[in-house]
Amino acid sequence: MNFSFFNQQLQREISGKHRGSSPLWILLQPLLLLAVYSFVFTQIFQARVPAGLDSGFVIYLALGYWPWSAFSESVLRNLSVINEHAALIRKVAIRRDTLVLARVCGVFILHGLGFLAVLLVLSIAGQSVLWQFLPVAIVLLLLLALLAVGFSLLFSAVQVIVPSISHMVQPAMLLMFFSTPILWAPSMLPEQYQSVVQLNPMAWWVGAMRELMLAGSWHWHLGGIIFLVALFMVPLLGYWVFHRLSPHFEDYL
Amino acid sequence: MGSDTSSAHLLVQAAGLGKAYPSESSSKRRWRALARLLAGRRPSLGKPVLQGVGFEVRAGESVGIVGVNGAGKSTLLKMIAGVLEPSWGQLQVNGRVSALLELGAGFQPEQSGLENIYMKAALLGISKQQLRQKMDQILDFADIGEAIHRPVKQYSSGMVVRLGFAVVASLEPDLLITDEVLAVGDESFQRKCIAWLDKYLANGGTLLLVSHSTYQIRRLCQQALWLHEGHLHMAGDVDQVTQAYSSWHESQQSQDQEEEKSFDASTYQVKSFHLSVNKQQNPSEMALGETLCVELILHSPDGREPVAGVGVTRQDGTPIYGVATQHDNAHGEQIDTHTFRFRLRFSDFQLLPGQYLIHGHALDPEGVRLKDSVQSALTVTGKVRELGIYRLPHQWYV
């Protein structure tokens, strides 16, 4: 691993220069989104938080939405990461997984900061956020980042050989978004679907994050085991597939 | 340069090297290719672009690669540079390799030249601190002024090469790989590069150079490889290989010319055009200061003497000198009713080493309309350090 190259790529990802936007938006955008969501869900839909979590809906949403955004954006933006760096890959021998890793780290750092800003604003606005559990929340975010690295390696490599995969990954991510209790609460589901949702590794993660930061509690159940299995399998699979395919990227770019 | 520059130190070792690109492009075939790649098997490949190539490069050697377009030169260099996976054979590359492959050298087009320098250095694991010490040297070598702050996509191809070479030159690689880069920069930059390469080689550096200029290859390399249609056609001493390559080229050219040109007796035509140096007919090269003779046999449809012209241009067509019989009130020798012979001698031919074209022209007897032209390539050799294309007569005096 070439750390100076990684650092350099990470700086590019964070500075957002290649996207032509200023770093100020890193903090502004999540706060604007927060304003939109709190208006829509508290004024229009009058959404309710499930019983047991004594909090407003907006903080309930925020604790799931920002980590999800980091995860989803990492995977989706990495679909094209190899093609974006085709000029480099064709002419310079580099470890190509560095590009993927730098992008995931960049996205998680940006969204992590946005997440903190949102929690801070909500906390100031009177929501009770259990700040003492922040270190555990950060560990949870790191685990999520690892899962994102796995999916990103997998899809970015396959995308080079089979470009049409990106048309499947995008709807799949949308499906995963709606099957994760981010906008809704599991208790709103009919009985028979409640156990199905647990099969989604993200469902446990979002639930765990909320319980931790709002109630200070921690529950293991089947979903947690599934999350851990996914956390172990997906990065391994992604790494294996990426390294099988990456020597051949140049042939397909 | 590398710490170990003993002649036995192998930098590149290739055996049975081959490359073919995947043939499939349809979506279904791409899924199949994915499955095969994941299974560790080779996807179905198209026609090989390189096959059975084996050679070695030791530290301190400089190897030129010649061959026509599509012979597989760039593919070979890309594999050695590590950006392309060989389809067959073994390839081992040791030491720090720095490659300038075609244009761009892997620059990010959206970023400024300066950012690209940092990027390139980062790729090679050079810290910012080390780079700062070299920055003046790089900027000085590239010599593109304020453009360094503009995005690389706005650069001219010459500027891209300047920057690419400047960065590579500063990194002191064990093995330097360059692909036709010297052909793009202007004359003065080419000279700067060649001067740098001379110094690099003198200090024990190792060079792999692809060039269409056999002159440059002979100037810089001791060994040469000749690739032809994906095969290693010839390898060995640079003089032998480049001479064989040049004469092959000439035989191809004359074949082409014979095929192309059908003789048209109804107009003024060049029947034959020959160069000679020291009694040697049709040399491909001559030494600086030798005497060049040109013989031009022209056909005249009406028996009037045509005007004969001889021109000298650089390889890119830049004119250097042109003269016609009418300028000197000279006349040819009538061989028969329709054939005239013209002979021209350039004593003490003082063009500086490089590649030139000698042109022969047939004009109508009025010297107004150009009726026919032929040309012949000529390389002037010699070890000189003067600059430019022509040695003006001069004396230093006090």
- Determine, yes or no, domain membership for B132: no
> Pick from B124, B251, B267, B136: which is nearest to A92 by CA?
B124
For residue B191, give the CATH number of its domain.
Answer: 3.40.50.300
Shortest CA gap A237–chain B (Å): 11
Domain total in chain B: 2
- Chain B residues closer than 8 Å to A161 by CB: 30, 33-34, 37
Is residue B198's pLDDT more than 80? yes
Q: How many CB pairs under 8 A join A and B?
A: 87
- The runs of H, that is alpha helices, within chain B are 27-38, 73-81, 113-123, 128-142, 157-171, 187-202, 214-220, 238-260, 325-328
Contact B242, B224 (CB under 8 A): yes
Residues B273, B348 share a domain? yes
Is residue B192's pLDDT more than 60? yes
pLDDT value at residue B7:
44
Residues B92, B208 share a domain? yes
- Chain A residues closer than 8 Å to B43 by CB: 248
Contact B99 A93 (CB under 8 A): yes
Is residue A152's pLDDT more than 90? yes
Residues B268, B240 share a domain? no
- Determine, yes or no, domain membership for B206: yes
Residues B80, B191 share a domain? yes
Residues B243, B269 share a domain? no
Q: Is the ipTM reported for this complex over the cut 0.85? A: no
Domain total in chain A: 1
Residues B267, B220 share a domain? no
pLDDT value at residue B341:
93
Contact B30 A17 (CB under 8 A): no
Residues B325, B182 share a domain? no
Residue A106 lies in domain? 3-252
Residues B373, B317 share a domain? yes
Task: Give the mutation candidate from B12, B25, B34 for the A interface (greatest A CB count, under 10 A).
Answer: B34
Residues B179, B83 share a domain? yes
Last residue of a domain, one of B193, B213, B248: B248
Residues B196, B79 share a domain? yes
> Pick from B321, B254, B258, B271: which is nearest to B292 by CA?
B321
Residues B274, B241 share a domain? no
Cβ-based burial of B337 (10 A; exposed 0-12, middle 13-18, buried ≥19): exposed
Q: For residue B297, report the phi and psi dihedrals to the nearest 5 degrees.
A: -110, 120
Contact A248 B85 (CB under 8 A): yes
Mean pLDDT of B213-227: 85
Average pLDDT, chain B: 83
pLDDT value at residue B163:
84
Task: Give the mutation candidate from A88, A94, A166 for the B interface (greatest B CB count, under 10 A).
Answer: A88
> Pick from A31, A67, A36: which is nearest to A210 by CA?
A67
- Determine, yes or no, domain membership for B159: no
Contact A93 B38 (CB under 8 A): no
- In tens, the pLDDT along A58-113 reads 888 889 989 999 999 999 999 999 998 887 888 777 889 999 999 999 999 988 98
- Chain B residues closer than 8 Å to A11 by CB: none
Nearest to A8 among B37, B83, B118 (CB): B118
Residue B305 lies in domain? 262-381
Nearest to A162 among B34, B85, B125 (CB): B34
- Determine, yes or no, domain membership for B372: yes
- Determine, yes or no, domain membership for B139: no
Last residue of a domain, one of B248, B280, B315: B248
- In tens, the pLDDT along A8-40 reads 888 888 876 545 666 677 778 888 888 888 888
